[in-house]
Amino acid sequence: LLGVAAGPALAVPTTAAARPAVAAGPDIPVANVKAHLAQLQSIATANGGNRAHGRSGYKASIDYVKGKLDAAGFTTTVQQFTTGGATGYNLVADWPGGDTDHVVFAGAHLDSVSAGPGINDNGSGSAGILETALAVAREGYKPAKHLRFGWWGAEELGMRGSSYYVNQLPAGERGKIDAYLNFDMIGSPNPGYFVYGYDQNLKALFENWFAAKNIATEIDTEGDGRSDHAPFQNAGIPVGGLFSGADYRKTAAQAQNWGGTAGQPFDRCYHASCDTSANINDKALDTNTDAIASAVWTLSGGTTNPPQGKVFESKSQLPIPDAGAAVESPVTVSGLTGNAPSALKVSVDITHTYRGDLVVDLVGPSGRAYRLKDSSGSDAADDVIATYAVDASAETANGTWKLRVQDVAAQDTGRINGWKLAF
């Protein structure tokens, strides 16, 4: 978030009187979002303590996000621009499919100030939309509208990256963007729940989602015109977004609504060296990221693949011991008849710092193991987020299925975040 401001936030709370139904969209594991923040913290630590425009830490941040998106199947574009005597970078990721004449666009700035690593401002928004994008891939989502995500450079110098992107976009392409959603600071340690009020439909979308969870919201005034929504808004594009507060101080009424400490800033480490991975409120980060996913799913109006059949899922996390014994995560399947299909879909979400160490098997109710992934000494990438097709037609569908994972080499660790079977 750009600039320095002081004074109370004067917006009026939106109460949760109506209780509309919660919109579509998957639950986003906050552990996944925090794993991205840990990586951004490590990048800053290794690059002079920040991820600022023109510094090595910013380029490393772009490379990290791009690597995740490329592996998930997005089409990514790195756009270069020059400002302040240094090269800047925007990263834009498109999910294949959907009506390209109607684009739903979520964005966040990826740069920090030079004073610190910028984990809340704005690692939080960047990680939130990254994990939402990865959920699109994990879920096999087929949006009716085209989905696009953006990570902007040099926001802290005055929205330079997003301004460059919008200015370079032909007028016809600008007209195809149905909504731009901006997320600049969503995990403030003394959080508020602020909604952008520029577009009534997008405002209501978020307000209704929070109201259904009994969370009061206020219209954001602190960030007015100070983040990357402004260039899109100035170009006539409908904009919305969320914000958890910066250096304004929480009022007594806000503390009563949201908890936290009245009289203290929403983020006491705003634009400071202490904006580290310790400067995050997990509940706010989790809630706001789920709201992002809901908005993306709702606005794009698609379906999840496979649209038919039954899905059985485990969301239980399970540590994977380093160079240790195999661990097994069970899923109980019931209510089906006959045998499993010849193309049983097995979707896995595993965090690991060297995925080549991992051997992954599906174990059927009979005890037979079906190899999903072998170990590889040359595969140094992070994580296993993939869907496999298994000929399990020899197995009865009902029974206990297990995901078996073993780390066969030393020095790297991980966990099973969850997995599912689609019949």
Cα gap 415→399, rounded to integer Å: 24
Bridge pairing between strands 218-219 and 194-195: parallel
Q: The dihedral of CA 417, 316, 34, 415: what is its sign?
A: negative
Using CA of residue 302, residue 304, residue 309, residue 310, what is the dihedral sign? negative
Kindly list the distances between the CA atom of residue 193 and the CA atoms of 12, 136, 252, 349, 405, in Å, as whole numbers in the listed order.
12, 25, 15, 29, 39
Distance from the Cα of residue 278 to its chain's centroid: 19
Cα 54 to Cα 39: distance, rounded to the nearest angstrom? 19
Measured in whole angstroms, the distance separating CA 366 from the mean position of its chain's CA atoms is 37
Mention every residue, 6+ apart, whose C-beta is less than 8 A from residue 326.
Answer: 359, 404, 405, 406
Catalytic hit among 131, 155, 156, 395: 155
| Distance of alpha carbon 216 from alpha carbon 238, whole angstroms | 23
Report CA 51 to chain centroid distance, whole Å.
Answer: 19
Residue 61, by phi and psi: left (phi above 0), alpha (psi -120 to 50) or beta? alpha
DSSP result, 75-88? EEEEEEEEETTEEE
> For residues 247 and 2, is the Cβ–Cβ distance under 8 A?
no
Supply the DSSP symbol for 418. E
The Cα 349–Cα 278 span in angstroms is 25
Neighbouring C-beta atoms of residue 304, cutoff 10 Å: 17
Nearest to 240 by CA among 298, 200, 291, 186: 200
CA distances from 4 to 33, 156, 270 (A): 27, 11, 10
Whether 155 is a known active-site residue: answer yes
170: CB partners within 8 A, 6+ apart? none
Which residues are annotated as catalytic? Answer: 155
